[in-house]
Amino acid sequence: MIDMQAHLDWFEQYVNRYHELASKQADNIGLKIDHTHRVLQEARQISLSLDLNTARHSLVELGALYHDIGRFPQLVRFGTFQDRESVNHGLLGFKTLRTEAVLGSLSWHERRTVLQAVNLHNRAQVPKGLPRDLDLVLRVVRDADKLDVISVLLSRFHPDEDIDPVVTLGLRHDPGRFSSKVLEQALQGRIVNYQDMVWVNDFRLLLCSWVYDLNFDLSRTRFLERGYVRALIGGLPQNEHVSRLKARLMAHLGAGETVPG
């Protein structure tokens, strides 16, 4: 049986190192610590909604707790959360867990599941043909991660205020601009490509497109009930294409709206 409290204690000890190493980045270190705990709670709720057995529930918890463990060394080494300008934080998390040997008490199957969930959680899509437990844990963690990331970013998207470039990946800030290519991807029901983002509003569109990648009923319900679509779309320059996107997203979430045109 997995001792979750021991892993929670280790996590706290680990991230405390980074408060000392990155005093100038204390706010962003704290941001990721708080994010991790909220993702853990989101993942627990999704897991409970699926009525998982104790073993699988514990694997979900560990995957959620460690999913962003690579963000801490990433921030200290490179001063950014932008993977394309530093390192793949999922892979760095995988390597960190192996180096720290924190999963040593787990069985081979449990270690593989947690390590690969961390390694793969930030992929554009869930790879096909994964082992059953890994596929499950990965999908729960990805949904939980999305639900919290959107909440965090919405609290920092202020059109008339300076935006932390670490949080918004160094994207250009102009409340009236977004990329037509990015909007078109979202309108086509595709996940927006990170590499195509130029403006902070493109980030809004990427977050909107995450609707298409939610895996569980509870995830879709929470996305809808929390008003994420309206909040994200509401911060964009309004035109008929943006209105069509809003309707498409709401319909995908089962809100009963139709897509104009």
Number of separate helices (H) and strands (E) present in the chain: 12, 0
Q: Which of 150, 143, 80 is nearest to 117 (CA)?
A: 143
What contacts 23, CB < 8 A, 6 or more positions away? none
In 10 A of CB 9, how many CB atoms? Answer: 11
Distance, CA of 104 to CA of 121 (rounded, Å): 21
Sign, Cα dihedral of 35, 75, 213, 116: negative
Which positions ≥6 away from 108 have C-beta within 8 Å?
A: none
Q: Which two tokens stand for residue 214?
A: 């939610």
At residue 150, the pLDDT reads 93
Nearest to 117 by CA among 170, 47, 186, 50: 47
Q: What confidence score (pLDDT) does residue 161 get?
A: 60
C-alpha distances (whole Å) from 93 to each of 49, 70, 102, 103 are 27, 4, 12, 13
DSSP secondary structure letter of residue 23: G
Residues of the chain short of pLDDT 50, as ranges, are 257-261
Using CA atoms in the order 103, 104, 108, 114, what is the torsion angle rounded to 10 degrees? 0
For 30-54, how does the pLDDT look when each residue is reduced to its tens digit (9 = 90+)?
Answer: 989 999 999 999 999 999 999 999 9
Phi first, then psi: give them for residue 238, nearest 5 degrees.
-90, 130
Place of tokens 């990331």: 149
What radius of gyration do the chain's Cα atoms show?
18
The Cα 204–Cα 173 span in angstroms is 12
CB-hemisphere CA count at 13 Å for 209? 22
Backbone angles phi, psi at 199, to 5 degrees: -110, 155
Q: Give the burial class of 81: count Cβ atoms within 10 A of its Cβ; 0-12 exposed, 13-18 middle, 19 or more buried.
A: buried
Identify the CA nearest to 165 among candidates 238, 77, 69, 75: 75
List the one residue out of 208, 187, 183 whose CA is nearest residue 197: 183
